[in-house]
Structure 1
Amino acid sequence: MKYLLIIIFLLLGNQVFSKEMYVPESGEIVFEIIRKNKTIGTHTISFIENDKDLKVDIEVNINVKLGFLTIYKYRHNNTEYWQEGELIKISTNSLTNSKKKYFVEGQKNNDFFEYEGVDNRKRTGLNVIPISYWNYEILDRNVFLDSQKGILREFDLKEMELENIFFNEKNFNAKKYMMKVKTIHSSDEKPFPNLYLWYTNKGELMKLEFDSPEDKSIITYNRIK
Structure 2
Amino acid sequence: MTRTKPAILIAALAAMIGTGAIAAPKASVPESGKLQFDVIRKGRDIGDYTLKFRGKGDDLTVSVMTDVMVRVPVIGVSAYNFNQTGTETWKNGKLAAIETTTDDNGTPHSIRLGATALVPASLWSADIVKSTQILNTIDGSTDRISVRNLGTETVETGHGAVQAQHFALSGDLQRELWFADAKLVHVRFQADDGSQIDYVLR
Q: Same fold (TM over 0.5)?
A: yes
In structure 1, give the amino acid aligned to 2:64.
Answer: I
Give matches, 1:67-146, under 5 Å: 67=74, 68-97=76-105, 99-108=106-115, 113=116, 127-146=117-136
Give matches, 1:8-19, under 5 Å: 19=23
Give matches, 1:49-68, under 5 Å: 49-50=55-56, 52-66=58-72, 67=74, 68=76
2:190 aligned to 204, 207, 211, which one? 211
Contact 2:22 2:182 in 1 (8 A): no
1:20 aligned to 9, 13, 24, which one? 24
In structure 2, give the amino acid aligned to 1:105.
Answer: R
> Residue 114 of structure 2: SS of its match in structure 1?
strand
Give the 3 Å change call, closer, same or farther, for CA 89–37 of structure 1 in structure 2: same
Give matches, 1:180-219, under 5 Å: 180-182=170-172, 194-200=174-180, 202-214=181-193, 216-219=194-197
Matched, 1:222 2:200: yes
- Distance in 2 (alpha carbons) for counterparts of 1:33 and 1:153: 23
Q: Structure 1-normalised TM-score? A: 0.74
2:138 aligned to 145, 148, 157, which one? 148
- Distance in 2 (alpha carbons) for counterparts of 1:93 and 1:199: 27
Give the 3 Å change call, closer, same or farther, for CA 18–175 of structure 1 in structure 2: closer
- Distance in 2 (alpha carbons) for counterparts of 1:209 and 1:18: 20
- Distance in 1 (alpha carbons) for counterparts of 2:200 and 2:57: 31
| Bigger fraction of residues in helix | 2
In structure 2, give the amino acid aligned to 1:223.
Answer: L
Q: Structure 1: 5+ residue runs without aligned partners?
A: 1-16, 114-126, 183-191
> Residue 91 of structure 1: SS of its match in structure 2?
strand
> Residue 150 of structure 1: SS of its match in structure 2?
coil
Where relative contact order (Cα < 8 A, 6+ residues apart) is larger, the structure is 1
1:152-175 deviation per Cα after TM superposition (whole angstroms, max 9, x unaligned): 111111110311123344331101
Deviates more, 1:144-153 or 1:47-56: 47-56
2:53 match: 47
Q: Alignment RMSD, CA only?
A: 1.7
Give the 3 Å change call, closer, same or farther, for CA 31–169 of structure 1 in structure 2: closer
- Distance in 2 (alpha carbons) for counterparts of 1:31 and 1:168: 9
Cα drift, residue 50 of structure 1 = 4.2
Contact 2:167 2:176 in 1 (8 A): yes
2:15 match: none
- Distance in 1 (alpha carbons) for counterparts of 2:143 and 2:123: 14
In structure 1, give the amino acid aligned to 2:192.
Answer: P
Cα drift, residue 51 of structure 1 = 5.6
1:44-96 deviation per Cα after TM superposition (whole angstroms, max 9, x unaligned): 00000146420000000011112331111111011000011011110001011
Aligned residues: 178
Give the 3 Å change call, closer, same or farther, for CA 51–177 of structure 1 in structure 2: closer
